[in-house]
């Protein structure tokens, strides 16, 4: 593990995103709340938040951190795509990029799991960091 003991605690924020493409009828089920397993986006939001809290258990050598907040947003792009954007924040000695990226991935996997009975061909993609703020290296924003 990288030694972060001498680093200064600062406010750190990271935003990550990802998408899931599906058949239009699958998106319609999600929008209408008619999926057999329940509120797909509500459960995916909870899964994303849980994912941030478990990141250090999933990613080897990733520091466990105390999160200050996690926000999960879903944007529906008709006719067939849901975009997830996660913002994670902490005050600490290491960033929250991995937590935000893990959360976006877990949210999309949850959507897949909840809808796979009607659409096994869903495609997850475009998972990436949008921005990070704070820390020794400063701010970074994706082009």
What pLDDT sits at residue 41?
97
Q: Answer yes or no: is 88 within a domain.
A: yes
Which tens digits make up the pLDDT trace of 48-78? Answer: 999 999 999 999 999 999 999 999 999 999 8
What pLDDT sits at residue 87?
98
Burial (CB count within 10 angstroms: exposed 0-12, middle 13-18, buried 19+), residue 66: exposed
Q: Answer yes or no: is 63 within a domain.
A: yes
Indicate which CATH number applies to the domain containing 45.
Answer: 3.30.70.640
Which residue among 3, 25, 113, 139 is the active-site one? 113
Q: Answer yes or no: is 87 within a domain.
A: yes
Burial (CB count within 10 angstroms: exposed 0-12, middle 13-18, buried 19+), residue 62: middle
- Res. 80 pLDDT band, cuts 50 70 90: very high
What pLDDT sits at residue 52?
97
What pLDDT sits at residue 56?
94
What pLDDT sits at residue 93?
85
Which tens digits make up the pLDDT trace of 3-47? Answer: 777 777 889 999 999 999 999 999 999 999 888 889 999 999 999
Q: How many domains does the chain have?
A: 1
Q: Answer yes or no: is 4 within a domain.
A: no
Q: Answer yes or no: is 138 within a domain.
A: no
Alpha carbon separation from 62 to 16, 58, 70, 96 (Å, rounded): 17, 8, 18, 10
Q: Answer yes or no: is 59 within a domain.
A: yes
What pLDDT sits at residue 117?
95
pLDDT of 2 > 80? The answer is no
What pLDDT sits at residue 78?
87
What pLDDT sits at residue 6?
73
81-92 and 140-141 beta bridge pairing: unpaired
Is 139 marked active-site? Answer: no
What pLDDT sits at residue 29?
94
Q: Answer yes or no: is 141 within a domain.
A: no
- What is the mean predicted confidence (pLDDT) over 115-140? 95
Q: Which domain holds residue 76?
A: 10-133
Cα torsion 117, 47, 17, 41: sign: positive
Q: Answer yes or no: is 19 within a domain.
A: yes
């Amino acid at each position: 593990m990288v030694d972060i003991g001498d680093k200064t605690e600062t406010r750190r924020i990271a935003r990550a995103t990802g998408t899931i493409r599906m058949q239009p009828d699958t998106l319609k089920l999600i929008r209408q709340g008619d999926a057999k397993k329940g509120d797909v986006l509500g459960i995916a939001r909870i899964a994303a938040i849980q994912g941030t809290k478990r990141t250090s258990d999933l990613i080897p050598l990733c520091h466990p951190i105390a999160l200050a907040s996690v926000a999960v947003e879903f944007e529906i792009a008709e006719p067939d795509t849901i975009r997830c954007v996660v913002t994670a924040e902490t005050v600490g000695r290491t960033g929250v990029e991995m937590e935000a990226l893990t959360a976006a991935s877990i949210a999309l996997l949850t959507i897949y799991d909840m809808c796979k009975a009607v659409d096994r061909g869903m495609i997850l993609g475009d998972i990436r960091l949008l921005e990070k703020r704070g820390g020794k290296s400063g701010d970074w924003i994706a082009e």
